[in-house]
């Protein structure tokens, strides 16, 4: 993927490269810099896109972008759950529907709905920017929209937190950046011996999650 700034930021939260302190915009060597610095959103979108392409390559069997469907996108979202930090109570848990559990429980940590929704929005835009057709965009498939709705409803019931009220308290920048750390760490999980990820979506639950040394996906 060709970087708009020429150098990709190492900031896991998608921070922007600091602009030149000189008003003339000249580089250190005296030549004028004409390359624009990518915005936080563009950096996150590029990272999400590269992560999804790597997921397709690592899929068993490998998948191509042309053969990707809404079902494969849903598989990708479920794959990201392993890097989540939002506690989602199962129905048998005594804290099911409790917004503030008084004690820890063994319920799984998953991706928050807000994180998944933000990731899909960026991937939908990236797909079309990279030559994909809107009518065949797998990230805009009806099955994906229904899956996100189901995740939202199930998390609302399990955690006892209506997302509508939660979202009004969050800043616009938080909504845009949701899930960026997740996909960045998902790339690191398949290329390094393990690291830690944080789920920047709505809610929270638990500390950092240690990622596996390798990632594999089965159909």
For residues 176 and 118, the answer to whether their CB atoms sit within 8 Å is yes
Of residues 162 and 164, the one with the higher pLDDT is: 162
pLDDT band at 159 (very low <50, low <70, confident <90, very high): confident
- Return the pLDDT at 24: 46
- Length in residues, the chain: 219
pLDDT band at 2 (very low <50, low <70, confident <90, very high): very low
Asked if residue 188 has pLDDT above 80, the reply is no
Asked if residue 44 has pLDDT above 70, the reply is yes
What mean pLDDT comes out for the span 157-168? Answer: 69
- Return the pLDDT at 178: 53
pLDDT digits (tens, 9 = 90+) for 72-94: 999 999 999 999 999 999 999 99
3-class DSSP assignment, residue 57? helix
- Return the pLDDT at 179: 55
- Return the pLDDT at 164: 60
80: left (phi over 0), alpha (psi -120 to 50) or beta: alpha
pLDDT band at 162 (very low <50, low <70, confident <90, very high): confident
pLDDT digits (tens, 9 = 90+) for 97-133: 988 889 999 999 999 999 999 999 999 999 999 999 9
- Return the pLDDT at 189: 55
Lowest mean pLDDT among 121-135, 180-194, 202-216: 202-216
What mean pLDDT comes out for the span 25-48? Answer: 70
Mean pLDDT of the chain: 72
Which ranges of the chain does DSSP label H, i.e. alpha helix?
40-58, 70-80, 113-129, 142-159, 163-169, 172-177, 180-191
By percentage, how much of the chain surpasses pLDDT 90? 50
Helix axes 70-80, 142-159, angle to 10 degrees: 30
- Return the pLDDT at 183: 59
């Amino acid at each position: 993927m060709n970087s708009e700034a020429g150098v990709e930021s190492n900031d896991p939260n998608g921070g922007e490269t600091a602009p030149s302190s000189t008003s003339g915009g000249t580089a250190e060597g005296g030549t004028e810099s004409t390359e624009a610095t990518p915005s936080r959103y563009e950096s996150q979108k590029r990272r999400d896109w590269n992560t999804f392409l790597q997921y397709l390559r690592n899929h068993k069997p490998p998948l191509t972008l042309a053969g990707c469907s809404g079902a494969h996108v849903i598989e990708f979202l479920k794959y990201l759950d392993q890097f989540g930090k939002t506690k989602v109570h199962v129905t048998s848990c005594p804290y099911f529907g409790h917004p503030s559990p008084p004690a820890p429980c063994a319920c799984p940590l998953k991706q928050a709905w807000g994180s998944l929704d933000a990731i899909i929005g960026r991937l939908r835009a990236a797909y079309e920017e990279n030559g994909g057709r809107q009518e065949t965009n797998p990230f805009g498939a009806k099955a994906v929209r229904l899956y996100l709705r189901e995740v939202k409803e199930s998390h609302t019931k399990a955690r006892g937190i209506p997302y509508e009220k939660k979202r009004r308290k969050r800043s616009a920048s938080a909504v845009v950046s949701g899930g960026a750390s997740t996909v960045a760490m998902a790339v690191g999980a398949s290329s390094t011996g393990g690291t830690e990820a944080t789920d920047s979506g709505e809610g929270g639950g638990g500390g950092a999650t240690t990622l596996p040394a390798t990632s594999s996906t089965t159909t």
